[in-house]
Amino acid sequence: MENDSLEELKSLFDEEIYLIPEDRKAILDQLEAEDHSQRVGREQPNPVPTPREKEPAQAVTQTPPAPKPAIQVPVEEVAVEPIPIRGNFSKGVLILHEEETLADEVMEMLMKMIKACGHSMSEVGMVASSSLENRSMEEFQNLNAHTVLKFGRIKHPINAIPARSYEVYSEKETEYLFADSLSEISEDKNLKVKLWTSLQVLFNLSPKK
């Protein structure tokens, strides 16, 4: 390195240059200092930029959404079917019977009795006991019957009415007559006579002489 520096200085002059030892040493020291400075500059690594400290994230305050108003679902009232009645029921005479269905001979007896009372089967209404189960007294009263003939055991609050068997009982605008089942009456002559006597009182019929 030292020889290279001397050669470079020598090439700058046409004539030979003679240096005294003190000057020669000073020049070499200066060149060596400059070379060392350049080497240090080349070897020094590029400064690594100091990363910026992340600023603390500001807490974002979120306003909770307003509660949605409760949706009111309209409650539909279930319409209760009225008690089913067989027959025209145009005269307000209602017959309640224990049996689910009436045998032909029982039905024939009933038709004769109703006809003798001045009515036809098409004018009266008939309801089986099974159709009255789980029905309230209010539902029964909504039928607006004026005359009620109850034959046999009926599963309904109508049993609470204090009417004696084969005796006419009046309550407000309705008259009641309770008797044995139609099947029993059809097989017993005495019960037929007993029922006929009660029907004459109920329908204001004059007994035959």
Residues 29 and 106 in one domain: no
Under DSSP, the state recorded for 188 is: -
116, part of any domain? yes
CATH number where 143 lies? 3.40.470.10
Which pLDDT does position 13 carry in this prediction?
A: 45
pLDDT band at 7 (very low <50, low <70, confident <90, very high): low
User: Does residue 97 share a domain with residue 173?
Assistant: yes
The 10s digit of each residue's pLDDT in 82-119 is 999 999 999 999 999 999 999 999 999 999 999 999 99
Mean pLDDT of 28-36: 65
Task: Tell me the average pLDDT of the chain.
Answer: 81
Domain range spanning residue 115? 93-202
Q: How confident is the model at residue 9 (pLDDT cuts 50, 70, 90)?
A: very low
CB atoms within 10 A of CB 1: 8
Q: Domain check: are 35 and 110 in the same one?
A: no
Residue 12 resides in a domain: yes
Instruction: Please report whether residue 84 resides in a domain.
Output: no
CA 156/CA 135 separation, integer angstroms = 7
Give the total number of structural domains in the chain.
Answer: 2
* Same domain for 187 and 106: yes
Contact 177, 148 (CB under 8 A): yes
First-to-final CA distance of the chain: 168
Model pTM score: 0.62
> Which is nearest to 84 in space by CA: 135, 122, 50?
135
pLDDT, tens only, 47-88: 555 555 555 555 556 676 776 766 776 666 667 789 999 999
Contact 106, 183 (CB under 8 A): yes
For 166, residues 6+ apart whose C-beta sits below 8 A from its C-beta are: 177, 178, 179, 194, 195, 197, 198
Q: Is residue 168 part of a domain?
A: yes
Residues 35 and 99 in one domain: no
pLDDT band at residue 42, thresholds of 50, 70 and 90? Answer: low
Q: Are residues 103 and 191 in the same domain?
A: yes
Judge contact between 179 and 151, C-beta under 8 A.
yes
CA distance 116 to 194: 15
Is 53 inside any structural domain? no
- pLDDT for the residue numbered 65: 72
- 156: pLDDT strictly greater than 60: yes
Q: Is residue 66 part of a domain?
A: no
The partner residues of 151 in beta bridges, in order of sequence, read 97, 179
Judge whether 102 lies within some domain: yes
Highest mean pLDDT among 40-44, 93-97, 118-122: 93-97
My answer on whether 8 and 108 are in the same domain is no
Please give the pLDDT value at position 43.
56
Both 103 and 175 in a single domain?
yes
| Residue 157 resides in a domain | yes
32 and 100 in a single domain? The answer is no
Predicted pLDDT of residue 20: 61
Percent of the chain at pLDDT exceeding 90: 56
Who's near 50: CB < 8 A, 6+ residues apart? none
Q: Are residues 102 and 198 in the same domain?
A: yes
Do residue 102 and residue 195 come from a single domain? Answer: yes
